Amino acid sequence: MKQIESIKEFGGFLNRYVHPSSSCHCDMTFSVFLPSVAQNEKVPALYWLSGLTCTDDNARTKGGMQRYAEEHGIALVFPDTSPRGADVPDEADRYDLGQGAGFYVNATQAPWNRHYHMYDYITDELPKLIESELPILGNVKSISGHSMGGHGALVCALKNPGSYRSVSAFAPICNPMECGWGQGCFSAYLGNDKEEWKDYDATELVKSGARVDTLLIDQGTADEFYDEGQLLPENLQEACNSEGQELVLRMQPGYDHSYHFIASFVGEHIAYHAKHLKC
């Protein structure tokens, strides 16, 4: 784990690292914001999973999160969205498959199955690494994300009850089995057996009995991908209502899919996570 950048902001430090990943079989880059209190003690962490086409850099430069993380004394972890490198498979003419579009699954189909193990990377390898190398408390973490990353956050939390103190999402892909983005990536990464897809679909996981304390989701009503049927929060709402899973779904009038939307409400999300991380 090699530090390649360090920037002081809001009293803490935004650091960037690169390391060889055993899950993804390539070098992976990630960023961590450490609040000032981390100079003297270990702190809890909030993992932020970004969306299609993003790297670790988008959220840390556009989301406005670090100010709130400093106020609450929590670290922010910004992983990349996929494996990368010359030897990593890609679809150069598609933004929704390949590098930048890992979908936080463990791929089982060639040529993706050697490198595209983002689920294991996020839930196991990366937390172990940073908890051993940085002033971050062991197993005191929450998770959030946007769009494809919102999908990832919901799935990671639902599949690992007790591992995350809280979970939230902005405009997540709630039912990927039923939308074009999910169908395109799942068929490539996981094959054609749709029973296998259910393991990475928040709506299907809730239907099968997976539970967390509460799901917090913000969705903009002027989101073009919501209008196109890519996000499907109503499907998740219906499953949660049917199965008794608490869901706070906040439809935010006039907001789109961009980081302007995220920056408008991320302070509330970080306060929500901080409450659970400090209890």
Active site residue 273: no
Task: Give which of 156, 181, 166 is closest to 232, Cα–Cα.
Answer: 181
Q: Write phi, then psi, for 51 (nearest 5 degrees).
A: -100, -170
Active site residue 223: yes
Q: Look at residue 84 and give its three-state secondary structure.
A: coil
Active site residue 257: yes
Catalytic, out of 56, 223, 269, 273: 223
Q: Look at residue 217 and give its three-state secondary structure.
A: strand
- Contact of 54 with 31, CB cutoff 8 Å: no
Pairing mode, if any, of strands 2-9 and 26-34? unpaired
Catalytic, out of 146, 151, 257, 273: 257
Which element (helix H / strand E) includes 220? strand 215-220
Spatial CB neighbours of 153, under 8 Å, sequence gap ≥ 6: 47, 49, 143, 144, 145, 167, 168, 169, 172
Catalytic, out of 142, 144, 147, 168: 147
Query: 49: how many CB neighbours lie within 10 A of its CB?
Result: 31
DSSP label of 36: G
Per-residue burial over 110-141, b = 16 or more CB atoms within 10 Å of its CB, e = otherwise:
eebeebbbbbbbbbebbbebbbeebbbeeebb
Per-residue burial over 211-248, b = 16 or more CB atoms within 10 Å of its CB, e = otherwise:
ebeebbbbbbeebebbeeebbbbebbbebbeeeebebe
Active site residues: 147, 223, 257
